[in-house]
Amino acid sequence: MRFLNIISAAIALASAPLVQAQFNAGDTWYGNQHYGGTLPAPSDGIHDKLKIVNGIEFRAATSYGGWTVDLDGNRVVFGFPNEVRFPVPNGNPAVTFNGFWVADVTDAHPPFKGFVIDPASTLPAPRLIWTENSLFVDFKGLHALPGDKLIITSAVPEIPVWLMGILGFGVIAARVGKHRDGVQPK
């Protein structure tokens, strides 16, 4: 009977929706180029409102290489139409541009669970820093060539993988329970 309860619980968990932040058309996020190695605080005022559309939401100035950011569903796609070496000087020798951040400063969206670099990317993996409501991509040390892409996908555990883990523990628990009750497993 306990085994059936465990199986029922596993099926109920598997059918529950996994909620994760998505970049959907019409949503508003905030983001900008970043001059530093940590996530900026929403209160520091260096963010732009990014209205999610079907296409590019952010384009860096030509002096920074004109690279683009497309926020689409569970992906952040960086495109590089020109050669760019990071960090990029911005005219002030004390400050260089080395990344991009996007955030939900209004807490209007579900939290991020994690990110992975898509194998279709043509750039090496940069350093990623994230919290429940923000992502910072640190480009420091990267050299992008014209046509390069960096695709970052929000990571959601696949249902079959964790469902099999739960079912496996359920089977073990059922066998241990039968053995403890004096019934030998077959």
pLDDT tens-digit series, residues 117-167 = 889 999 888 888 888 888 888 888 889 999 999 999 887 655 555 556 666
Supply the pLDDT for residue 147: 94
User: Who wins on pLDDT, 185 or 151?
Assistant: 151
Rounded CA-CA distance 143/145 in Å is: 7
Helices (H), 32-138: none
Rounded CA-CA distance 52/121 in Å is: 22
Supply the pLDDT for residue 157: 52
Look at residue 81 and tell me whether its pLDDT is greater than 90: yes
Task: Provide the whole-model pTM.
Answer: 0.69
CB–CB of 125/117 below 8 Å? Answer: yes
Please report which confidence band the pLDDT of residue 176 belongs to, taking 50, 70 and 90 as the band edges. low
Look at residue 68 and tell me whether its pLDDT is greater than 60: yes
Beta bridge partners of 28: 51
Look at residue 60 and tell me whether its pLDDT is greater than 70: yes
Supply the pLDDT for residue 78: 92
Supply the pLDDT for residue 23: 84
Look at residue 183 and tell me whether its pLDDT is greater than 80: no
Look at residue 110 and tell me whether its pLDDT is greater than 70: yes
Supply the pLDDT for residue 16: 47
Supply the pLDDT for residue 39: 54
Look at residue 2 and tell me whether its pLDDT is greater than 70: no
Q: Rounded to 10 degrees, what is the CA torsion of 11, 12, 17, 18? A: -70
User: Who wins on pLDDT, 71 or 47?
Assistant: 71
